[in-house]
Amino acid sequence: MVCPYCKSQENPAKHGTYIRESDGKKCQRYRCKACKKTFSETHFSIDYRLRKRYLNQNVFRSLCSGVSQRRLAIILGVQRAVIARRLLRFGRCAQHNLEVYRRNREKVTRLDFDELETFEHTKCKPITAAIAVEDKTRKVLAIAVGRIPAKGPLVQLARKKYGPRPCERSKCLHALFHDLKDCLGPSGLVKTDKSKAYPPFIRSYLPGWNHEATPGLRGCVVGQGELKASGWDPLFSLNHTYAMFRDGLKRLARRTWCTTKKMGNLTMSLNMYAWFHNLYLDSKQRTQLKLDWNH
Ligand SMILES: [Zn+2]
């Protein structure tokens, strides 16, 4: 057990027990030998200091199943803050779990990546979310989020109302590859669309890899732009995963009332959904959010 205060690896000494008030569980306390601070075993669990811990898994699954935060609060009969607090905590937890997952899994040899576009507050303030997916298995490997300026007919209006907006696209792709380096093999196949922005990144971060660029296909008539009309989509793993993000997270759905207000919360939502998605692919019955402390 690692000390949460000084990160000392030395095993802490037992320091008595206490009965947790909210559910009557007996919890073990520990005292760190290095910094002498005490903490309990619950410090490392997903429900640390949350009293309504029976809600947690339900909130996790609902938020990843297209239910909005406000509506979930109504369904469960709780304050909105109860849900909002959990969204942030679950997002951080999922982010950590993804990091551990990248480090411990076998090396990836088939990678797809692209950017999903959404916005904060108004379409004049777009956001790009670069998401890397393992081809075939559809497991989400890494996510990075950044601001981008408005384009098309909104350029003038966006500039007038909100001033200049930085373009963080390349910063975002650098962050994505930085995270990915833990899990990528020395060679493999990377598939993207025909965007001109990607080849320089692939050359510098994936020197031994083959790059296959596919032209974008037209979206199918009903629903999401990510699902393609033609029968065979070479980027199916990627597009299908993106479509699932849009279906699972209410704020990403097209033509929705629920929009992102803060970019940080979007990042947390994306991480939370990514972890849910990976759990779901492993087993459809058991999508249980746990904090993974295996470093
Ligand atoms: Zn300590």
Measured in Å, residue 37 CA sits from the centre of ligand 1 at 6
How far apart are alpha carbons 205 and 226 in whole angstroms? 26
What pLDDT is stored for residue 233 in this prediction? 81
Residues within 5 Å of ion ligand 1, judged at the Cβ atom = 3, 5-6, 8, 32, 34-35
Domain identity same for 206 and 270: yes
Domain identity same for 14 and 158: no
- For residue 226, the tally of other CB atoms under 10 A from its CB is 21
Domain identity same for 14 and 73: no
What pLDDT is stored for residue 247 in this prediction? 93
Nearest to residue 50, comparing CAs of 21, 30, 14? 21
Domain identity same for 113 and 235: yes
Q: Note whether 211 and 202 are within 8 A (CB).
A: yes
Domain identity same for 170 and 66: yes
Measured in Å, residue 92 CA sits from the centre of ligand 1 at 22
Measured in Å, residue 292 CA sits from the centre of ligand 1 at 20
Q: For residue 203, tell me if it sits in a domain.
A: yes
Q: For residue 272, tell me if it sits in a domain.
A: yes
Q: Retrieve residue 291's tokens.
A: 């904090």
Q: For residue 252, tell me if it sits in a domain.
A: yes
Please count the structural domains in the chain.
2
What pLDDT is stored for residue 30 in this prediction? 94
Domain identity same for 140 and 265: yes
How far apart are alpha carbons 121 and 10 in whole angstroms? 47
Measured in Å, residue 206 CA sits from the centre of ligand 1 at 40
Domain identity same for 2 and 75: no
For the chain, the residue count is 295
What pLDDT is stored for residue 219 in this prediction? 66
How far apart are alpha carbons 97 and 292 in whole angstroms? 6
Full DSSP string of 88-113:
HHHHHHHHHHHHHHHHHSPPEEEEEE
Per-residue pLDDT of the chain (295 residues; tens, 9 = 90+): 888 899 888 889 999 999 999 889 999 999 999 999 999 999 888 888 889 999 999 999 999 999 999 999 999 999 999 999 999 999 999 999 999 999 999 999 999 999 999 999 999 999 999 999 999 999 999 999 999 999 999 999 999 999 999 999 999 999 999 999 989 999 999 999 999 999 999 999 999 999 999 887 766 655 567 777 667 788 889 999 999 999 999 999 988 889 999 999 999 999 999 999 999 999 877 778 887 665 4
What pLDDT is stored for residue 47 in this prediction? 87
Measured in Å, residue 38 CA sits from the centre of ligand 1 at 8
Domain identity same for 166 and 203: yes
Domain identity same for 12 and 117: no
Q: Which domain holds residue 20?
A: 1-44
Measured in Å, residue 22 CA sits from the centre of ligand 1 at 27
What pLDDT is stored for residue 144 in this prediction? 97
Q: For residue 292, tell me if it sits in a domain.
A: no
Measured in Å, residue 18 CA sits from the centre of ligand 1 at 20
What pLDDT is stored for residue 295 in this prediction? 44
What pLDDT is stored for residue 215 in this prediction? 82
The model's pTM: 0.91
How far apart are alpha carbons 280 and 152 in whole angstroms? 37
Q: For residue 54, tell me if it sits in a domain.
A: no
Measured in Å, residue 33 CA sits from the centre of ligand 1 at 7
Domain identity same for 19 and 85: no
Measured in Å, residue 16 CA sits from the centre of ligand 1 at 17
Measured in Å, residue 9 CA sits from the centre of ligand 1 at 9
Q: For residue 268, tell me if it sits in a domain.
A: yes
Domain identity same for 150 and 21: no
